[in-house]
Amino acid sequence: MSVIPHPMTTTQFELPGFQVVRSLGVVRGIIVRSRSVFGTIGASLQTLVGGNISLLTNLCEKTRGEAFEVMLDHASQLGANAVIGVRYDATEIMQGVTEVLAYGTAVVVEQKRT
């Protein structure tokens, strides 16, 4: 588990109430995941009913969460206490195999003084 708490991450390029004192560069977390045969069959059956395909939704959410944690670990290793400009990307590498990338800018922030 990362030492950077979730509230210290944002898709914005500033963290409300904090000021960036040092930028440590781009950090990323990459997960490559394939669907199992059973997951593919189960998802195919769910498409017959229509609506949310929960098997694939859960797989996507788990994969994004893992990529996010790897990104935060990378930022922690650099000495960051926050990550700004967080984004996700996904690329199908081959049929049934997808790369999920979480990336952002690792920064050191201090609370703003009023």
Q: Does the pLDDT of residue 29 top 70, yes or no?
A: yes
pLDDT > 90 fraction of the chain, expressed in percent and rounded = 61
* Model confidence, pTM: 0.82
Answer yes or no: is pLDDT of 107 > 80.
yes
Q: Kindly indicate the confidence band of residue 87, based on its pLDDT and cuts at 50, 70 and 90.
A: very high
Reduced 3-state DSSP string for the chain = CCCCCHHHECCCCCCCCEEEEEEEEEEEEEEEEECCHHHHHHHHHHHHHCCCCHHHHHHHHHHHHHHHHHHHHHHHHHCCCEEEEEEEEEEEEECCEEEEEEEEEEEEEEECCC
Domains and CATH numbers, the chain: 6-111 (3.30.110.70)
